[in-house]
Every structure is written in structure tokens, then in C-alpha cells.
Amino acid sequence: MKKIVMASANPVKAKAVLQGFQRMFTEETFEIQTLEVPSGVSDQPMTDEETLQGALNRSQRARELISNADYWVGIEGGVYEHENDLHAFAWVVVRSPDGIGKSRSGSFELPSVIRDLVHSGVELGKADDMVFQRYNSKQSNGAIGILTQDVIDRTALYEHAVILALVPFRNRELFGK
């Protein structure tokens, strides 16, 4: 059994990680351990670079805190500006003793009311809850689930990026891992 340490206690992230690993490595079994670690970036990362740094930091900190694992995963959600629109996305970083894999989720435009709240300093999850009258939506379907009526929820958005971050580990001979 392979051990994965997930640098978040968010059940959506843990589910996405476990499902991604299970889909990529059907011949393996996995156990996942979650723990809260700081991202080392803003509560609401506002650029692609800051969001990637948060995922890198989380995976590294998880590895420092729990060294006896096969993989350490950091997921950081963020936003970025494009032509006065605000888009949401996430970075996924997977570390192993012999390498690292990184991938970015798809992105989607946020409504202007949420954009304005985020610009005023409100974290995206809290802005979603305020606008859509939810509680803790970031630990359920998230903005993407709300906006697509769960055609794609937060788990599916992240799972896709987890799978892509595992490409180097699935193809070790091509990536020198």
C-alpha cells in the first residue's frame, strides 16, 4: 500500500487526490493522510505564480512534517485577472522521494459580483458563500459546482489536475524519475 500525504484537511481535495491516484495507478492501493499546513502565500492568491508557489510550499511542508510517505501533495486554488475578468483555477504539486509533478486545473470566469468581493479582500470561498447564500462551499462543490449546477464540481476540477500532475510518475522512464 502506498501512502499519500495531502497538505490539506479539506475533504474535497483529499477525495480528488485519492481518486486521481486510483485512476492513474489501478494496480496500486493507497491510503491518504491529511494535515493542515500553511501555504506561505496570501489567503487568496491573485496570480498564477503565487498560486503555484502555494502548492509547492504545501507539498514541501507536508514532506518535512511527515517524511515516511510515498507521495506528498499540495493543492492551491487561486485567481488571476484577464482583460478585467477574474478567473479561478488551482495548481497541484505531487512530490515523491525521486521527483515532482505539477499541473494546473482548467480555469473559469467568475461573476462580476464575486470579482468585486475578491478585489475588496474577500477570499473566494467566502465570496461564494456570501453571493450564493451557502456555508463552507469550498469544502463541497465550490464556485465551479455552483456555477455549473454540479456538471463539474470542485472534486472533478481538482482530480483532473491531479491526474495530469501524475504523468511524470506514470511515465518514469520518459521523465527520468
Instruction: Give the residue-averaged pLDDT of 41-69.
Output: 96
Position 120 scores a pLDDT of 92
Asked if the structure places residue 98 within a domain, the reply is yes
Position 161 scores a pLDDT of 98
Domain that holds residue 16: 2-107+153-175
**What digits encode the pLDDT tens for the residues 130-157?**
888 877 666 667 888 889 988 999 899 9
Position 69 scores a pLDDT of 98
Assign residue 51 a region (left: φ > 0; alpha: ψ between -120 and 50; beta: otherwise): alpha
For residue 18, give the CATH number of its domain. 3.90.950.10
pLDDT at residue 116 greater than cutoff 80: yes
**What digits encode the pLDDT tens for the residues 56-68?**
999 999 999 999 9
**Domains contained in the chain, number:** 1
CA max distance for the chain: 49
Which one has a higher pLDDT value, 142 or 107?
Answer: 107
What nine digits make up the cell of 151?
456538471
Cell 491516484 belongs to residue = 21
Instruction: Give the residue among 41, 32, 29, 44 at the shortest CA–CA distance from 8.
Output: 32
pLDDT at residue 54 greater than cutoff 90: yes
The CB-side HSE value for 11 (13 A sphere, CA atoms) comes to 5
Q: What is the pTM of this model?
A: 0.93
Position 138 scores a pLDDT of 66
Asked if the structure places residue 144 within a domain, the reply is no
Asked if the structure places residue 131 within a domain, the reply is no
Asked if the structure places residue 127 within a domain, the reply is no
Asked if the structure places residue 58 within a domain, the reply is yes
Asked if the structure places residue 10 within a domain, the reply is yes
According to DSSP, residue 95 is labeled E
Asked if the structure places residue 132 within a domain, the reply is no
Which one has a higher pLDDT value, 105 or 126?
Answer: 105
Asked if the structure places residue 65 within a domain, the reply is yes
